[in-house]
Chain A
Amino acid sequence: MELNAFENSLLERADSARDRLPAWAEQLATAGAARFAQSGLPHRRLEAWKYTDLKSRLEAKRPEGAQGSRAAFHLGGALEVILTKEGMHTSAPLGEGVRIFPLNDALTKEPALLQKHMGTNKALQQDALTGLNTALMQDGFVLHLAQGVTLNRPIVLRVEVGEGEAPSFARNLIVLEEGASAVLIEDWAAPQSAPQLRHAVTEIMLADKASLAHVRVQDEKLEAAHLSLVAADLEAGAKYHQFALNVGAGLTRSETHVHLGGEGAHAELGGSFLLNGLQHCDTTTVVTHAVPNCTCREVFRGVMADRSRGVFQGKIAVAPHAQKTDAKMETRALLLSDRAEMDAKPELEIYADDVKCAHGATIGTLDEQSVFYLQSRGIPLPVARRMLIGAFVEDALDVVSDVDLQAALRAVIDQRLSRLEGVAG
């Protein structure tokens, strides 16, 4: 595989960055770099990247412009954690049994925890980009909740590191011990000095009956590429809820792998992508039912304006003997412009017979009848369209159970919708 200049520069950077790591991590980093060197950046000839040709897209210049929504995410009463180059700031004490570290601190202070979990997720082990991330990991955080600890308020986490415009590789680790429970919001609204390319790998380990509500709000500036990979391992009775709101960045890949490895585990994935201009946003999910009696629900909504392109690839895999699986996946997209595009690939891979699996996908435009109905009730056309599009997106928000959190997300969505071309008709 011939690597291009950009790929080589990343590998060179990996070479020089490696010696700062402790020995065990250096081993992982070396192996990761080797994996990346073999295959380079993913491209459209790889099935998983069929609709997002990362290699060529990273070479192409992305249009300049402001952030997607310009509405900062704000959640009252949350515990705010900000990671900067200097360290970490928290708006209040963390409380008993809750620990958060910037990655670089954790590498030296918590080697046992990291060594135990980092790179153990099977979904990540073959991934070349994750290899590169491991070789270059610098930004990122580690969150650990001890057994039985319940966070009484949501954590809002902002990462403001990265060196100017250089690509940033964040590596996050979230470990919830047995019965622990937390609400975590990652807010990726970039300041002006944000990197052109951000790649974040988040590994999540949920022990028996642990529960994590995980929200990612991505509102980076338009020149930026935001690539995220979340891999969650769930043990018996664990619950993982994820909501991904993607409104910013010229190029986004929002990839999630959930491994339901213990009976009674439940995953719920939702998301909205609201795109304008030349934005490209790829949502990819893989949920693996490895044991019997697990459930999952997926609801995604996309709105594409102007020349933007939305991609949804969802896969539900049911292993042999994973009986009594109950899985549903639904994705719907609205195209608001003649030049917008949506590609969907909702996949089922089933090796057990006593299962209930379903998926649905629709792509279309606003129903004229509904618009007419509202107009006939005296609602002006732009308002009617806005209401219907808002309601369309709203479905995905059901994944979020906290009402305040829903409202905070809705505020960003509303702001974003008001800036999309063609919402008002």
Chain B
Amino acid sequence: MNGNVMTTVEENRQDVEQLAKREYEFGFVTDIESDRAPKGLSEDIVRFISAKKNEPEWMLEWRLEAYRRWLKMPKPDWAKLNIPEIDFQDLYYYSAPKSQADGPKSLDEVDPELLATYEKLGIPLSEQKILAGVVAVDAVFDSVSVVTTFKAKLAEAGVIFCPISEALQSHPELVKKYLGTVVPQSDNYYAALNSAVFSDGSFVYVPKGVRCPMELSTYFRINERNTGQFERTLIIAEEGAYVSYLEGCTAPQRDENQLHAAVVELVAHESAEIKYSTVQNWYPGNAEGEGGIYNFVTKRGDCREANAKISWTQVETGSAITWKYPSCILRGDNSVGEFYSIAITNNYQQADTGTKMIHLGRNTTSRIIAKGISAGKSQSTYRGLVSSHAKATGARNFTQCDSLLIGDQCGAHTVPYIESHTPSAVIEHEATTSKISEDQLFYCQQRGLSEEEAVALIVNGFCKDVLQQLPMEFAVEAQKLVGISLEGSVG
């Protein structure tokens, strides 16, 4: 079993290396290296970004519309988060990836703690160098062969998978048809901001009846790098199509951007299935709560026609502030929504995360499993909405949120909203809060585990329902990550 996993991981790594080369080929990293828009946000900046990306006129108009609406919108303040004032004029909204000259020259200059974490996660040296920003992607990987294999494989299946900026050039009609149909420009404050200034992201289109031949995951691990703080992802699965998409990385990444506001839109047509997995491990700030990423994400999937299925899985361990509610609109009859989440907060991290399941169609079902683990002085909140509308006869929801507290300085909160207009709908919600029992800890320690190992083991058991939803090769890394995130929280 273990051997198999390792092989899979190894294979994926090779894929990464090979795919990494692709970026170089297209050169969209290098040729914009020196560009940087002036600080601040204005219509001119929006025009600058759009021009830089050589976007069609309608796209610029769309961005400007979003910007104008954003100006009039209030910042949401309902989350149980203490968000420091953000000066939106004090940010760069367009900057090409940092040149190598700015980064550390070798691994010797990298924070040893970061390296230790990489070591524990079992990340190969070559990949460590990328993650720590020591070298550019293109400098590490020099084999070309598999890029073409990957590309050929996807093209053969008819799957379009490219940066969204590229899709705007090559498939503008598809982008125009779907962009903003799940998360409208004015959906919320951060989504509006993203709509105005998004720099890049991924575009996936899986044609009718196609089962995407590979996990669109490891590719992304590199692809995502430097797409900036406002990424925009759009995934469309046509009738009967299937795609599994994995975003993020278990390894903590060096990141200059303090504010991240991403938007992800999923569209599943009849009988299509989209599985979207996230592992988020951005810089959470130091043990005193200084620094760290503010992560404001709008993710929403639309089961547009009958029998569609959208499944969200997330492991959230990073960021100083997480504000994120991946949702499903269950419009088509018999459509299915799933949300599996692990949110781990330590030190001074704050997470307010959950989901929305909107049942509109008949016999729609949804399942929510949320596990929150708070340690240190952190605060973790599950916030979710399950609603069934008048026509959603036979709708079914099951929600389970469990919180685990480690230490008496942290907080764990549950704020579910349940709204039913449908007598034949059955909605069930349960939540528990507990701590790691002394007995469990003692038992493990008695068997020779250190206290930290014991906590990692118990917490992994607590999270099992969610971890097993992750694609295999990632589940292994995520398990390690769960343990590492809680280091220093006991004893």
Interface of A toward B, CB cutoff 8 Å: 47, 320-321, 323, 333, 335-365
Contacts and interface: CB of A to CB of B under 8 A. Distances in A.
A323 B428 CA distance: 28
Contacts of B410: 351, 353
Contact of A347 (B408, B415, B435): B415
16 contacts: A47-B78, A321-B408, A338-B423, A341-B420, A341-B421, A344-B417, A344-B419, A346-B416, A346-B418, A347-B415, A352-B405, A353-B405, A355-B433, A358-B430, A359-B430, A364-B426
B403 A350 contact: yes
Most buried by A among B78, B424, B431, B433: B433
Contacts of A350: 403, 405, 411-413, 433
A365 B431 CA distance: 22
Contacts of A336: 423
B429 interface: yes
A357 B425 CA distance: 27
B89 interface: no
Contacts of B432: 357-358
Nearest to B393: A338
Contacts of B405: 350, 352-353, 355
B414 interface: yes
A358 B431 CA distance: 5
B146 interface: no
A360 B416 CA distance: 11
Contact of A365 (B409, B411, B423): B423
Chief secondary structure at chain B's binding surface: strand
Given A338-B390, A342-B420, A343-B419, A349 B430 contact: no
A48 B429 CA distance: 20
A345 B408 contact: no
A349 B411 contact: yes
Contacts of A343: 417-420
B29 interface: no
A322 to B, nearest CB: 10
B418 A363 contact: yes
Contacts of B427: 361-364
A155 to B, nearest CB: 37
A130 to B, nearest CB: 23
A360 B425 contact: no
A236 to B, nearest CB: 21
Given A335-B423, A364-B425, A351 B411 contact: yes
A365 B403 contact: no
B251 interface: no
A348 B80 CA distance: 12
B131 to A, nearest CB: 33
B407 interface: yes
Contact of B413 (A339, A349, A356): A349
A87 B419 CA distance: 45
A356 B432 CA distance: 8
Contacts of B418: 342-346, 361, 363
Contacts of A345: 415-418
A353 B435 CA distance: 6
B435 A361 contact: no
B434 A356 contact: yes
A360 B412 contact: no
B408 A361 contact: no
B422 interface: yes
Contacts of B425: 363-364
A337 B431 contact: no
A317 B460 CA distance: 27
Nearest to A313: B417
B406 interface: yes
B408 A362 contact: no
Most buried by A among B390, B414, B415, B416: B414
Interface in B426-452: 426-435
Given A358-B431, A358-B432, A341 B411 contact: no
Given A343-B419, A344-B419, 16 more contacts: A320-B408, A335-B422, A341-B421, A342-B418, A343-B417, A348-B403, A348-B412, A349-B411, A350-B405, A350-B413, A352-B405, A354-B408, A355-B405, A355-B433, A360-B428, A364-B427
A351 B413 CA distance: 8
A354 B407 CA distance: 8
B419 A341 contact: yes
Contacts of A348: 403, 412-414, 431, 433
Contacts of A361: 416, 418, 427-430
Contacts of A335: 420, 422-423
A258 B149 CA distance: 66
